[in-house]
Amino acid sequence: MTTLTPLFPTALTIAGSDPSGGAGIQADLKTFHNFKVYGATAITLLTVQNTCGVSRVQVMPVDLVMQQIQAVLEDIPPSAAKTGALGSAEIIEAIGAGARHWTFPLVVDPVLVSKHGAPLASRDCVDAYRQFLIPYADVLMPNLPEAEELCGFGIDSPELMERAAKTLLDLGAKSVVIKGGHLEGDPVDMYFDSAGHQLLPAKRIDTQNTHGTGCTYAAAVTAGLARGSKRITAIEAAKKFVTAAIGGNFEIGRGIGPLNHWV
C-alpha cells in the first residue's frame, strides 16, 4: 500500500464533545484549522450543554475511547496530541498506558470541571492523572483550581504557582504551564521546565465570553508542536492566539459565550 505524505501536519484531540461548539473537540478542531493542522478526534464523553450551562454528561466506555484512538493511529499518525476532559480514572489510565509508547508530543489539559462548574471527571481522576498520565505529558496545562487539586495545596500567588509547577514536574511532566486566569489582576501564566521558568503575561480583557479558553489554549499549543515548533515557541504563539480570540469574542447565546476562533 502506498503511503501518502500529508499536505498538512496532523494532530489528535482526545476530549469531550460540546454541542454548542465553544469548547471540547469542537474548539480544538477550530483551533487546529486556524493553525493549518489537520485534526482527528477521539470522543471521551458527550455533554448536553450550551452557553448557559451543562445539564448532562455521559462518559464513553473505555474500550470505545481506545478503539477510536487506535483507528486514528493506524491510519493518520498524528504529529502531536492533546487530552481534554477524560471523564473517568479508567480512561485516564488506559490513555496513559498507550502514551508510554507514543513518539509524538502529548499536551495534557487536566479538565476537571466545565466553565459553568459542572464536573467533567469522577472524584478518583486526580490520583489517576498523577499516577498514569502526567508522567507522559510533554506539556501539562492546569488552571489554578486544577493545579490545586493535583498538588493538594492552595495557589494564590506567583510563588505558589512556582511551587506547584515544581511539584508537577516531579511527577514526570516535561514542562508545565500554570494558567493564571483565576489570579487577581492580569492573567499571567508561568511556563516551567527543567531549565527554569518564564512569565507569559497578558492584559485581562473585560468580557464574560470565555467559554472554551482552556481547550483553545491547549489545542493551539498542540498545533504548534505538530508543526515542529519548540515547546516554548508553541506556548508563546498559543498564548498570543488565545488572548486575541478572547478579545475578538462575539455575542452568541445567552450565557458565557465562546471565543473568536477566526482571529
Catalytic residues, which ones?
179, 210, 212-215
Residue recorded with cell 481534554: 84
Handedness of CA 241, 78, 82, 172 (dihedral sign): negative
Taking the CB of residue 118, how many other CB atoms lie within 10 A of it? 14
Termini Cα distance of the chain = 40
Q: What residue type is assigned to position 118 of the chain?
A: A
Helix residue ranges, H only, the chain: 24-34, 62-75, 89-99, 125-128, 144-151, 158-170, 213-226, 231-247
